[in-house]
Amino acid sequence: MSEGLEIFGKTVFDTLFIDYRVMVVVAIISVLLFLVGMYIQLSKWGRGIPEGTTKPVGAFGALKFIISAMFAKGVGKFLEVLVLDVAFQRRTFKRRKLEWLMHILIFWGWIGLLVLTIVAAAAEFYGPFIKGSGPEFFISVWQSLEGLNDLFGYMLVAGIALAIIRRLFFKGTDIQARNADIDWILIIGLLIVVVTGFYAQDIRVAQDVSRVVISDYPPAFFNNFTVLFHEIFTLLFCVAYLPFSKYLHMMTAPLTLLVNHGGE
């Protein structure tokens, strides 16, 4: 084990058998919690009994209804709304330029990091299991993504910085809402994700990950407390907690835009 308080020659991590495998377990639990949460929300929405009907449609009925409503005006309209309203937030851009910039930085920073993580994970799987090669393939993919990773990371930081500045110095209508302070949970949560994420990245760079990966796979830095904390916190906060929190709107607002065809 790489670091931590040593007791009788062993770190607390070693004693508690905490290593990168915890992250894998938490990831599975987080995804399950996310799915359960979404099912509970769908069940709630599926309780609706519109005028002229007598029975609620249930969770799967709601899902079916939402999907069919998205495509009710054709694939072309769906794609238009997906690109212009969901990806580029046209409606926010029309009226709130500063908020739009903040949202775009956070949204695209986040999406970018997510996509790169998925690509890296796919490469990690593809190398040894499909290509039949060692970790070199994964390392080459990872290294080629470094620049983009930095870019999306800085976008996320800039977006969060804007959110904090707005909240502290501009008293917009969003801050006047009842229980508006709840938004600090999101801002602080994302800040923790970003700060620990950059710290983890620093450790990777300092250890020259490509060398570490080859000699010791999976690399020991995954067992670093901050790195583990970063991974676990991100999974719990951004995946498991999402359907149970006020931040559910991150899912439902784009869905609403899609089912309402951009809010026409």
**Which residues of this chain interact with other proteins, rule CB under 8 A?**
37, 40-41, 43-51, 56-57, 61-62, 65-66, 69, 85, 89, 91-92, 95-96, 99, 172-174, 176-178, 180, 183, 244, 248-249, 252-253, 255-257, 259-260, 262-263
Q: Shortest approach of other proteins to residue 26 CB, angstroms?
A: 20
φ, ψ of residue 10 to 5 degrees: the values are -125, 145
Q: Cα 36 vs. chain centroid, distance in angstroms?
A: 17
Q: Shortest approach of other proteins to residue 115 CB, angstroms?
A: 23
Q: Shortest approach of other proteins to residue 88 CB, angstroms?
A: 12
Long-range contacts of 59-66 (CB under 8 A, 24+ apart): 66/255, 66/259
Tokens of 145: 């993504």
Q: Shortest approach of other proteins to residue 54 CB, angstroms?
A: 10
CA distances to 40, 76, 81, 183, 229 from 244, in Å: 9, 33, 26, 15, 21
CA distances to 115, 122, 152, 154, 213 from 119, in Å: 6, 5, 14, 19, 17
